[in-house]
Structure 1
């Protein structure tokens, strides 16, 4: 009268006989989700007819590519990936900015934490002498 649940005889409830995954519940859940999304998608659209006026604002121009100045520990100065001398920094930046106003141009400075303060101030003074007054300092993001 009693059922044998496990053992060497491999009865009705042996683990090797029930080795396949039953996908029927998975298919049922997926069909229910499909029906829910099919019913909810039309409700998410706006059905109020509105005659919108045309936009008259001119499209805004793309912002210029940012200019990065990097200062290494040794005092080497880079504009982007290009090594420049401190005496060439102003003329290279002016050429890169072109016809735009240097006073409105933002310059991003990345400096090694072991950079001498004097090398950093040379770069800042050169920027100021050439009319670049908007400077942003970049630091390491430690929020993660």
Structure 2
């Protein structure tokens, strides 16, 4: 404790060790950063074969404002949507089914369509929305 002539205490924090530690950390980061970010330039060879088509492409079912159901670009009714999906996917039930539904479509039609898709055995269902 340091005392002045008037018996008042002076409380001071010694920041010198703090500054020393900060300078050491700054030097460490300045030295390590170029080492970590350096990379080796490599020119990769070109592939001659074509890539395989993705067998698990998402299936898109659209319902427009006229309550018409489209599987991809093909107009289908709710009763034969399962057969159309099995024909397109080769009975692969792992595909994701996306629903693009107009906002004026009644909820009952959407749920009925989802039930037909579930009865066909497709359980991975996703609803798409438009981002603002």
Deviations 1:94-142 (A, max 9, x none): 1111042x1x221010000000111101111001111111001000011
Q: Sort the Cα spacing of 1:65 and 1:121 in 2 relative to 1 into closer, same or farther, 3 A.
A: same
Q: What value does the CA root-mean-square deviation take over the aligned residues?
A: 2.3
Gaps of 5+ in 2: 1-37, 42-50
Aligned length: 86
Task: Tell me whether 124-133 or 60-69 shows the greater mean CA deviation.
Answer: 60-69
Q: In the alignment, which of 22, 40, 43 is matched to residue 46 of structure 1?
A: 40
Aligned to 1:108: 98
Q: Following the alignment from structure 1 to structure 2, what is the Cα–Cα distance between the partners of residues 93 and 65?
A: 12
List structure 1 runs of 4+ shifted beyond 2 angstroms: 44-47, 59-65
Deviations 1:5-42 (A, max 9, x none): xxxxxxxxxxxxxxxxxxxxxxxxxxxxxxxxxxxxxx
TM-score normalised to structure 1 length: 0.54
Aligned to 2:4: none
Q: Is the 8 A contact 1:73 1:116 kept in 2?
A: no
Q: Is the 8 A contact 1:107 1:135 kept in 2?
A: yes
TM-score normalised to structure 2 length: 0.58
Q: Sort the Cα spacing of 1:80 and 1:62 in 2 relative to 1 into closer, same or farther, 3 A.
A: closer
Q: Following the alignment from structure 2 to structure 1, what is the Cα–Cα distance between the partners of residues 65 and 129?
A: 15
* 2:84 aligned with 1:83: no
Aligned to 2:90: 98
